[in-house]
Amino acid sequence: MRVDGKTAVVTGAASGIGKAVAEVLAAAGAHVVLGDLNEEGGAAVVAAIRGRGQGADFFRLDVTDLDSIAAFAEQAYAARGHVDIVANVAGWGKIQPFVENTPEFWRKVVDVNLMGPVAVSRAFISKMMEKGAGKIVTVASDAGRVGSLGESVYAGAKGGAIAFTKSLAREGARYNITVNCVCPGPTDTPLMDAVPEKHREAFIRATPMRRLAKPSEIADAVLFFASDRASFVTGQVLSVCGGLAMAG
Note the pTM of the prediction, 2 decimals.
0.94
pLDDT in tens, 57-92: 999 999 999 999 999 999 999 999 999 999 999 999
Confidence at residue 247, expressed as pLDDT on a 0 to 100 scale: 57
Of 5-19, 22-36, 195-209, minimum mean pLDDT range: 195-209
Domain 7-239 has CATH 3.40.50.1980: no
35, 170, 151, 160: which is closest to 97 by C-alpha? 151
Tell whether the model's pLDDT for residue 192 goes beyond 90. no
Q: How many CA atoms lie within 13 A of 28 on its CB side?
A: 26
Extents of the domains making up the chain: 7-239
Residue 220 near residue 24, CB atoms below 8 Å: yes
Tell whether the model's pLDDT for residue 223 goes beyond 90. yes
Catalytic residue among 72, 154, 164, 225: 154
154 classed as catalytic? yes
